[in-house]
Amino acid sequence: MSDPIRRLVQHLARLPGVGEKTGTRLAFHLVRAPRQQTRELAQALLDLADRIRLCSVCANVTEDDPCATCTDPRRDPEVICVVATPADVGAIDRGGHFRGRYHVLHALLSPLEGIGPDDLRIAELMQRLGPGDGTAPPVREVILATAPSVEGEATAMYLARLIKPLGVTVSRIATGLPVGGELEYTDQATIARALAGRATL
Amino acid sequence: MRILALRVRDVRNLEPLELEPAPRFNVFHGDNGQGKTNLLETIYVVAALRSFRTSKLADLLRFDTQVAHIGARVERGGLERVYELTIEPRSRRARIDGKVVRPLARYFGEFNVVLFAPEDLQLPRGAPADRRRFLDRAVFNRRGDFMPLAQDLDRVLRSRNALLREIGDGRKPLRTAGTLLDVYDEQFAQLAATVTSARLAYLDELRPRFAAAFEAIARMGIAVDLRYVGPDEVVAAGPEARAAALQARLVATRPQDIARGATSVGPHRDDVVFEFGGRDGGAFASQGQLRALVLAWKTAELDLLTEIHGEPPILLLDDVSSELDPQRNRYLFDFLAQRRSQCFITTTHPRHVLVADERVDHEVREGKII
């Protein structure tokens, strides 16, 4: 294998979900691809590296700082939805049901992997909840939308402990049955959650 | 419930195997080291997705192979389902009726296998960790949601311990990490309370059946009991108050936990004691009585599962007869003859297996079922 190909394979194989085999397949695909397409891919990668950064307010990925979501006047600045990753912002925003602002943590607490509070964008979040300079309205509610996993729950519980003393309402997204799902095929742990979180009609 | 067909590829020393087990007694005899227990292990693993001999499923891979496969066609309540497990060095894949099951928790609950092995007979006298595992296996068969719960608890426990060590060796000052430790206390207390409650509820169900079974085996008129041992206030608290009791306990033991870098209370430290005439059977019962205690538990467990699920579970009996005296061996097989469980029985001598009817014998030699 010639050197540029070998180098590309090495880089591709570092990507999540891609191993040596898939990396090699992708590399040879690109060798055969039209030159224009390969150049465009390279340019997209360069743009990613040079132009994408984190919003200084919500820590989501953006080209402009602050990001379009943080500056959108139609979005309610008094409600902040806290998520683990930029992909989670996309997932929640696609529905269009949430019209507040976001905050991206970029990780979940995990002492097992040595990830502590300092590795999450918590200081930035607390800054948004603080007294501020009087120009922005105070935050009324923080919605904790981390996954219902061991790590996601721990992170939500930790944030709740930090935020509640500030007098801000803290809520947690519900867990339970998927809409359109069938009860019969739902695992017992999920059913137990759904029962525990039942609502009065 | 019964296994209609079993298919095994590249598991331990077993030759490729296609077996259509008899509906009642399947007896596998052969010398030690021929693969009898390996065969029982495949059935256990395809039902529970874990082994009773190793914590790593990859250990089941036949020497020099990269993929092992176990499949079982199972009839339950008139319905047939195919359970399949593929084991690779670093992964496993479970399917039901050809479909990959995700999350894995969905795999459990319908395919119940009870194992009875010779080492179980020493349980009342053995290590608490073995009794906890024995109890948890039984609870897991009773309710399929127990395993994901126990796994979550284990993860939170390891997280809390990692944090305790970071605080203990000064990497994190307690002043700032205190809130974080509070979080893990709360999360651990909640999950630990649920696990403890599940164990206690199980023992409550098992207890009367256990006592009756022991009397039927031993006919001694001695009262026996199963006592769960944990912090008194945690065990005594109702399910609603249990998490709070545990959390209070965690706060009290925090300095000690930080110094040790480990969590000193919780289900991972609790125990279950076989009580014999009001005393610890592990210390006071004779060898024969110990075996009778475990035999009573196992038969009670089978009856309880049959009642709960409306179907008798599958029983794996691993060379237990050689460890029982003739009278207790007789009791065990009379008991099984009166029930409807499909049984897979290994033995060094077929004559140890005291059933005559509905029985099919196989010899196991060098990994081959003959």
- Full pLDDT tens readout for chain B, 370 residues: 999 999 999 999 999 999 999 999 999 999 999 999 999 999 999 999 999 999 899 999 999 899 999 999 999 988 999 999 999 998 999 999 999 987 777 788 789 999 999 889 999 999 999 999 999 999 999 987 888 889 999 999 999 999 999 999 988 888 888 999 999 999 999 999 999 999 999 999 999 999 999 999 888 889 999 999 999 999 999 999 999 999 999 999 999 999 999 999 999 999 999 999 999 999 999 988 998 999 999 999 999 999 999 999 999 999 988 888 898 999 999 999 999 999 999 999 999 999 989 999 999 999 999 8
Minimum-distance CB partner of B187 among A112, A153, A188:
A153
Contact flag A150-B187 (C-beta cutoff 8 Å): yes
A30 token code pair: 């690109």
Residue type, B231: P
Distance of residue B283 Cα from the nearest chain A Cα, in angstroms: 39
**For A3-51, which CATH superfamily applies?**
RecR Domain 1 (1.10.8.420)
- Inform me whether the C-beta atom of residue B166 falls under 8 Å from chain A C-beta atoms: yes
B156 token code pair: 């939170």
Bridge partners of B61, per DSSP, are B11
A22 token code pair: 């898939």
B182, HSE (Cβ side, Cα atoms, 13 Å): 13
Contact flag A158-B155 (C-beta cutoff 8 Å): no
Q: Which CATH number fits domain A75-172: 1.10.645.10, 3.40.50.10470, 3.30.365.10, 3.40.1360.10?
A: 3.40.1360.10
Minimum-distance CB partner of A158 among B155, B172, B179:
B179
pLDDT of residue A134: 64
Q: Which helix (H) or strand (E) holds B6?
A: strand B2-9
Domain ranges in chain A are: 3-51, 75-172
Minimum-distance CB partner of A111 among B103, B106, B159:
B159
Bridge partners of A54, per DSSP, are A61
Around Cβ B203, how many Cβ atoms within 10 Å? Answer: 18
Instruction: Provide, as residue numbers in chain A, all residues whose Cβ is less than 8 Å from the Cβ of B163.
Output: 111
Minimum-distance CB partner of B145 among A116, A153, A188:
A188
A45 token code pair: 């990668």
Instruction: Provide, as residue numbers in chain A, all residues whose Cβ is less than 8 Å from the Cβ of B172.
Output: 116
- ipTM tops 0.90: no
Beta-strand relationship, B271-276 and B91-96: unpaired
- Inform me whether the C-beta atom of residue B152 falls under 8 Å from chain A C-beta atoms: yes
Largest CA distance in chain B: 71
* Distances, alpha carbon B51 to alpha carbons A56, B14, B215, B260, B359, in Å: 50, 16, 32, 31, 27
pLDDT of residue B10: 96
- Inform me whether the C-beta atom of residue A112 falls under 8 Å from chain B C-beta atoms: yes
- Inform me whether the C-beta atom of residue B184 falls under 8 Å from chain A C-beta atoms: yes
Around Cβ B334, how many Cβ atoms within 10 Å? Answer: 12
- Inform me whether the C-beta atom of residue A162 falls under 8 Å from chain B C-beta atoms: yes
pLDDT of residue B170: 87
DSSP 8-state assignment for residue B269: T
Query: What CA–CA distance (Å, rounded) separates B15 from B12?
Result: 9
Contact flag A187-B145 (C-beta cutoff 8 Å): yes
Among B319, B292, B317, B343, smallest CA distance to B123 is for B292
pLDDT of residue B89: 92
Around Cβ A87, how many Cβ atoms within 10 Å? Answer: 10
Instruction: Provide, as residue numbers in chain B, all residues whose Cβ is less than 8 Å from the Cβ of A189.
Output: 105, 145, 148-149
Q: Read off the pTM.
A: 0.86
- Inform me whether the C-beta atom of residue B102 falls under 8 Å from chain A C-beta atoms: no
| Residues of chain A below pLDDT 50 | none
pLDDT of residue A2: 76
DSSP 8-state assignment for residue B255: H
φ and ψ of A70, to 5 deg:
-70, -25
